[in-house]
Amino acid sequence: MAITRRQFIRRTGLATAGTVLGPSLFGSPFVRRAFADLGDRYLVVIFLDGGNDGQNTVVPVSNGGGSLRSDYEVYRRAGGGGLRLTPAQLGPTTIGNDPNTGAALALHPGLFGLKQLYDAGQLAVIQGCGYPEYSLSHEEARLIWQSGNPLRITPLSGTGWVGRHLAATYGASQIPGVCISDSIAAEFRQSTTSVLAIQELENFGFPWDGYGDDEAAKSAAFGALHANAAAGSQAAQVFIGNAGTATLNSTSNYPALHSDYENDRGAFSALYADIDRSVAYDLREVAKIIYGVNAGAPGVSARFFHLDNGGYDTHSDQGGATGQQYDLHRELGDSLKVFYDDLADMGAADKVLTVVWSEFSRRIQQNGSGTDHGSQGPMFVIGGPGALNGGVYGNHPNIAGADLENDGNTRYRQTAHAFRSTDFRDVFGTILKHWLNMTQPQILSNILIPDAAAGEYWNLTNGIDLDMGFLP
């Protein structure tokens, strides 16, 4: 596909916006007002790395008015790979019906935690998410989702859709985002605001050479040099003085959130530890930060979080109601259930929205004991009971043999088709519009950019829908 560039406005003005905010940044009324406008909200992005098999994540239990279950049986019964999920196995995790065919749907048995959230109105299942001319390369597909940029529009490359939102909303020395990782997730990349990468709050510190235990003296001197700069008369000097101070403060303020949480919420902390898997531990770090920010802990202001989990590239030994994918789903579902119970207990469930995505799905036809890279897959959006319209959104992809691509992949279907697919940008866009309070023109000019000249299906054929309905 030809790539056409569109006019792109550089937001250079924002890079200096932070310089007007002094070292007492976090107490600044300007910052607080920005948060108040957001309605005191948080966003958590969870990436399932490797291509989660959507065909066994949201599964047809019946045919309804179509043939989804029969088609599922054709492919997942065959081959003897043990992937087939029976109606009996799916019984405890049934959710709503497919909007298109009316087929009864169920989550993978491992997602029992999500089923509980579904029953509480806290889960939106969005089926058939993808984009036209999908990539089946892990790296390329991942970048497409992270950048929100299926057309690889040049000015957007190198930045992420969350990052562009942050750049448009926060100043240079603010720290609105934290990645529970050792690096900044591509979704959060941009050059205007600050995003922290924290693996464990307990060990998040400023990088000092440790010889002689001289950190306190160096830290004091660092603070003094930056205070001198912040009080200076030259723009770049003041900027660096403030930004360095914010950085030093965050490394000294964030670790305390760990002990505060452990002291106050040890019972919940133990629930995450019981799961003993990385999603649980990472969500516990998020919970610690939210607990701190929500309680007004000094010097912390993060609202956006990212975590990822690997292992979804199940070419072999995927398993059915037990096995590899079961373990992964169990980890995700149980962890999110504990996370939202924790949030509810601290009175913050309605303030936190979580979106779960994977770079692609997998083929309906199994290969021996696993599955190969496939096209559209489901996304999950989780929120508090008062902040989300739970339910099933989007159509299940058509898995009837006659409708598959030559390579066995489900087709990306456009507006007029009964099996219309969901452009993943509609999901991100709905979140930007209804959770982060951006206007549609802001979103479409700066954050998720359609490009009509490139034959963009999103706006020309599918119709942009940033009001999918899962958010009030």
Partner 1 sequence: MGDESSILSEGDARHLLRRAGFSATRKELQQAGIIGSTRGAAADRLLGYKVKPFKPPGNNQRKQHDNLLRNLLVTKIPVQEKLVLFWHDHFATGIAKLLASNFGLATKLMASQSKLLRTFAKGDMRAFVKAMGKDAAMLEFLDTVRNDKFIPNENYARELLELFTLGVYDSAGNENYTQADIVQIARAFTGWRYSRSGKPYLDEGQHDYASEYLAERGPKRIFETRGQIPGGADFDANGEGAAEIDTVVDIIFTHRDTDGRNTVARRTARRLLEFYVGPDPDLALIDAVVDDSGFDTSFDIRALVRAIFCQDAFYETGLPFGPGVTKSVKWPVDFAIGSMRLLGMKFAGSNKYVPGGSYSGAFTHMENMGQILLDPPSVFGWDWETAWLSSSTLLARYNFARDIVGSRGGGRFRPEKLIDFSLTDPAQIVDQVLDALDVGHNFSAADRLVCESYLTDDGSITPDLGNYQYVNKKIHGLFELVMKSPGYQVF
Positions touching partner 1 (CB under 8 A) are 2-5, 8, 10, 12, 15-16, 19, 140, 152, 154-159, 172-173, 175, 183-184, 191-197, 206-209, 211-212, 214, 217-218, 220-222, 224-226, 228-229, 232-237, 239-241, 243-244, 246-247, 250-251
Query: Which two structure tokens, joined as six digits, stand for 259?
Result: 């002990």
Q: Is 274 exposed, middle or buried (0-12, 13-18, 19+ CB in 10 A)?
A: exposed
Q: Which of 120, 68, 60 is nearest to 85 (CA)?
A: 60
Q: Which helix or strand (DSSP H or E) is residue 58 part of?
A: strand 58-60
Q: In whole angstroms, how close is the CB of 243 to partner 1 at the nearest point?
A: 6
The pair phi, psi for residue 304, each rounded to 5°, is -125, 135
- Please, is 252 exposed, middle or buried when counting C-beta atoms within 10 Å of its C-beta (0-12, 13-18, 19+)? middle
Which CB sits closer to partner 1, 302 or 404?
302
Give the nearest distance from C-beta 172 to partner 1 in angstroms.
7
Phi–psi pair at 23, nearest 5 degrees: -60, -25
Tokens of 109: 């048995």
What is the spatial distance between Cα 449 and Cα 445, in angstroms, rounded to a whole number? 6
Helix (H) or strand (E) holding 339: helix 324-345
Q: How far is the CB of 304 from partner 1 (least distance, A)?
A: 13
449 touches 4 (CB < 8 A): no
Nearest in space to 54 (alpha carbons), one of 33, 82, 76, 36: 76
Q: Are 249 and 193 in contact (CB under 8 A)?
A: no
- What is the torsional sign of CA 265, 266, 272, 277? positive
3-state SS class at 206: coil
* Closer residue to partner 1 (CB): 137 or 415: 137
Per-residue CA distances from 203 to 117, 192, 199, 254, 255 (Å) = 32, 26, 8, 10, 7
Residues 113 and 52: their CA atoms lie apart, in Å, by 17
Q: For residues 85 and 120, is the Cβ–Cβ distance under 8 A?
A: no
Cβ atoms of 350 and 290 closer than 8 Å: no
The count of C-alpha atoms lying within 13 angstroms of the C-alpha of 421, restricted to the half-sphere facing its C-beta, is 25
Select from 141, 183, 184, 150 the least CA-distant residue to 50.
141
- Token pair of 254 as six digits: 């964030």
- Using left for φ > 0, alpha for ψ between -120 and 50, and beta otherwise, residue 40 falls in left
Compute the distance between CA of residue 167 and CA of residue 176 in angstroms, rounded to an integer. Answer: 10
